[in-house]
Amino acid sequence: MSGEAAAAAPEAPAAAYDAAGWRPSAARATVRPAPSVCRGRLGVVAIVFALAFAVIAVRLVTVSLDGWTAAAARLPAPAPAAPESGSRGDITDRDGTLLAASLPTASLYGDGQLIDDPADAAARLAGVLDDLDVAATAQSLDSDRRFIWLRRGLTPAQHYAINALGVPGFGFRMENRRFYPTGRLTAPLVGFTDTDEVGLAGIERAFHQTLDGGETLALSIDLAVQAMLRQELVTAVGEFNAAGAIGLVLHIASGEVLAMVTLPDFDPADRGPDDTEAPFNPAVQGVYEMGSTFKIFNTALVLETGIADLDDQFDATHPIRVDGHTISDYHGEYRWLTVAEIFRHSSNIGSARMAIAAGRERQRALLDALGLTRPAPIPLTETAAPLVPDPWRDINVMTIAFGHGIAVSPMQLAAATAAVVGDGLYRPPTLLRRDPAEPIATERVVSSETSRQMRWLMRQVVMDGTGRNADAEGYLVGGKTGTAEKTAGRGYDGNALLSSFVAAFPMDDPEFVVLVMLDEPNLPRSQGRPTGGRVAAPVVRRVIERLGPMTGLAPVPPAMPEIRDASLEASDPSAWPNREDPR
């Protein structure tokens, strides 16, 4: 050690050190430890505390995990995953008004393991869902199942009210539900789906794949025309105490169905989850003997084939007996009648003789061309096939002439009438809106001249025949009555009628066909039999008086020549005036 260092170091008592330079133990016990020694001892203490806390923490985690496992066992089971497909496509009318749409709604399920008192839970739920089967619901909840469907497609109010009950074990799943804003107005046509949005009836069923893919479907229906037609039919059913009614409005040039109404109808919102049966749609699914409306086609047959002209006569002096049956007239003239008179007076006898003159082959060929021997080409799965005679005998030829012995749908009748008055061209009817730019497949069934003659004859029926009650002033309406007895066993029930009237207007250039049929209408005895002319024709008149202005077709001004003029009473259609379009 240097001298400077020796001088700087403090002197220690000699007794405090041993020979090695360390203080003896007695000295250590009385002297304060150095800082490095203190830090060492604190580290040991810290390690001990850390180990203790680690042991405590491990124990706490173990206890917590046990609790979480037990609690997790009582959590509600997750609802089944919703389908990954997109929302079902909308259905609209021709102008885009919504007829059917899918909206997200809450559906209710229960967890049997979380509901301590199933009976109480069911009773409380019934306070919100008043149609709930309390006993069945309580039985379903009294189980260990984790997922129990209770009600699908809740309204927002129901969702809120059930949630407010605070019942443990009630859960909700969001899924799509089909809504029909127009309700009864379009239900028979649009149809409905089940709770999984599978189409079960109408357009929903016929175009299920298209709609399920998310595509919007625009129908040919005009909702305003549909509402007007339904209103008139509801009034008529009440007025004549009828069992039901069918109404159609067809646009001739395009074949588009602007309105299709059937009564009775239904409200798709009132159908229960188990109510999956498609209601009967008589407009396309029902096939009926159409009565004297078929004289349109029988008369066109003899004119088109050249069998007779309008002024040629047939013997209607007495009934016809054939195969044990009698063909007679309701209000017979019982004389020789011209073709025009047979049509205007609706003579069954004259029509039968005309049909026999034309023959079964020609008759069958024309009915085939008019689409009356095959189902209407309407894209509805409910569309029925007509009932045609087999074999097609002479008796069938005669009865078909006045609408018996063959049964077709109202849609077929309307489309065939449109072909006869629409320049003789058959256009397939459609329930879908057509693109005006796309051509329409047509088939000529009668000549333009025959079509012109038939328009004149149908106008005569309204002016001075059985259809006078259909005469809507200013619209040059033409048409034909039909009164058919409904079948009963092997015969007919004279007290159960299908009374109809099929019309077109304006008859110098027809744009629309209107068909109204009343099922089993009634009249007071003093008013006579409830024929098509008495009960259906007035409904057609009211429909046309409202349809014309709705579609922009103005009435013929009073100053314009009327088809009623005496100079036009001759049977030659060339005497008609060339009416200018007043629109």
**Residues annotated as part of the active site:** 292
Tally the C-alpha atoms within 13 A of residue 152's C-alpha that lie toward its C-beta: 17
Give the DSSP letter of residue 424: T
- Taking the C-alpha atoms of residue 498 and residue 519, their distance in angstroms, rounded to an integer, is 5
- Taking the C-alpha atoms of residue 282 and residue 247, their distance in angstroms, rounded to an integer, is 10
Cα angle 153, 157, 161; round to 5? 100
Going by DSSP bridges, is the β-strand pair 98-110/512-519 parallel, antiparallel, or unpaired?
A: unpaired
Residue found by looking up tokens 């739920």 in the block:
125
Give the DSSP letter of residue 344: H
Is 463 within 8 Å of 440 (Cβ atoms)? no
Is 459 within 8 Å of 507 (Cβ atoms)? yes
Point out which residues pair with 103 in neighbouring strands: 177
Burial status of residue 395 (CB atoms within 10 A of its CB: 0-12, 13-18, 19 or more): middle
Is 229 within 8 Å of 543 (Cβ atoms)? yes
Categorise residue 145: left if φ over 0, alpha if ψ from -120 to 50, beta otherwise.
Answer: beta
Supply 85's token pair. Answer: 């497909």
- Taking the C-alpha atoms of residue 114 and residue 279, their distance in angstroms, rounded to an integer, is 41
- DSSP secondary structure, 110-179, as one string: E-TTT-S-HHHHHHHHHTT-TT--HHHHHHHHSSS-S-EEEESS--HHHHHHHHHH--TTEEEEEEEEEE
Is 407 within 8 Å of 492 (Cβ atoms)? no
Cα angle 104, 106, 112; round to 5? 150
- Taking the C-alpha atoms of residue 376 and residue 390, their distance in angstroms, rounded to an integer, is 20
Residues with Cβ within 8 Å of residue 161, at least 6 apart in sequence: 128
- Taking the C-alpha atoms of residue 481 and residue 542, their distance in angstroms, rounded to an integer, is 16
Dihedral in degrees, nearest 10, Cα atoms 541, 543, 546, 552: -100
- Taking the C-alpha atoms of residue 142 and residue 148, their distance in angstroms, rounded to an integer, is 10
Q: Report the candidate in 259, 258, 275, 255 with the shortest Cα–Cα distance to residue 267.
A: 275
